Amino acid sequence: MKRRSFLTTATLASAGLTTLLVTSCTSSTKNNEDSLPVEDFIEAFELDEETISSLREKLTSGKYTSEQLVQLYLKRIEAIDKNGPQLNSVIEINPDAVTIAITMDKELKAGKSRGPLHGIPVLIKDNIDTADKMQTTAGSLAMAGNIASKDAFVVQKLREAGVIIIGKTNLSEWANFRSTQSCSGWSSRGGQTKNPYILDHNPCGSSAGSGTAVSANLCVVAVGTETDGSIVCPASVNGIVGIKPTVGLVSRSGIIPISKTQDTAGPMARTVTDAAILLGAMAAIDQDDVVTLESKGKTQKDYTTFLDINALKGKRIGIEKKPQGDNKYVNALLEDAIDLLKKQGAIIVEIDYIEKFEALGQAEFEVLQYEFKEGLNSYLASANAKVKNLTEVINFNINNEDKTMPYFKQETLESSNEKKGLNDKKYLEALKVSFEGSKDILKAVFEKKKLDAICGITMGPACSIDMIYGDRWGGYSLTSPAATSGYPHITVPNGMAYDLPVGLSFFGTPYTEGELIGLGFAFEQASKKRLKPAFKTSFLK
Q: What are the pLDDT digits (tens) for 434-479?
A: 999 999 999 999 999 999 999 999 999 999 999 988 899 888 999 9
Per residue in 189-229, pLDDT tens? 999 999 999 999 999 999 999 999 999 999 999 999 999 99
Q: Is residue 534 in some structural domain? A: no
In this structure, how many other beta carbons lie within 10 angstroms of the beta carbon of residue 196? 30
Q: Is residue 467 in some structural domain? A: yes
Q: Can you tell me the distance from the alpha carbon of 188 to that of 23, in angstroms, rounded to the nearest whole number? A: 11
In this structure, how many other beta carbons lie within 10 angstroms of the beta carbon of residue 30? 13
Q: 152, 128 in Cβ contact below 8 A? A: yes
Q: 365-399: string of b/e by CB count within 10 Å (b at 16+)?
A: bbbbbbbbbbbbbebbeebebebebbeebbebbee
Average pLDDT (324-344) is 97
Judge whether residue 13 has pLDDT over 70.
Answer: no
Q: Which residues carry out catalysis?
A: 125, 206, 230
Q: Can you tell me the distance from the alpha carbon of 230 to that of 227, in angstroms, rounded to the nearest whole number? A: 6
Q: Is residue 476 in some structural domain? A: yes
Q: Which residues contact 185 (CB under 8 A, 6 or more apart)?
A: 23, 24, 25, 170, 171, 172, 192, 193, 194, 202, 203, 204, 205, 208, 209, 212, 465
Single pTM value for the model: 0.94
Judge whether residue 43 has pLDDT over 80.
Answer: no
In the prediction, which pLDDT does 64 show? 98
Q: Is residue 538 in some structural domain? A: no
Judge whether residue 28 has pLDDT over 60.
Answer: no
Helix or strand or coil: residue 322? coil
Percent of the chain scoring above 70 in pLDDT = 92
Q: Is residue 420 in some structural domain? A: yes
Q: Is residue 3 in some structural domain? A: no
Cis before 206? omega within 30: yes
Judge whether residue 12 has pLDDT over 80.
Answer: no
Give the total number of structural domains in the chain.
1
In the 3-class helix/strand/coil scheme, how is 23-58 assigned residue by residue? CECCCCCCCHHHCCCHHHCCCCCCCCCCCHHHHHHH
Q: 12, 18 in Cβ contact below 8 A? A: yes
Q: Is residue 1 in some structural domain? A: no
Helix or strand or coil: residue 458? coil
CATH of the domain at 474: 3.90.1300.10
The range of the structural domain enclosing residue 291 comes to: 12-527
**Cα atoms in the 13 Å half-sphere on the side-chain side of 402:** 0
CA torsion 363-369-371-373 (nearest 10°) is: -160
Judge whether residue 29 has pLDDT over 90.
Answer: no
Q: Is residue 191 in some structural domain? A: yes
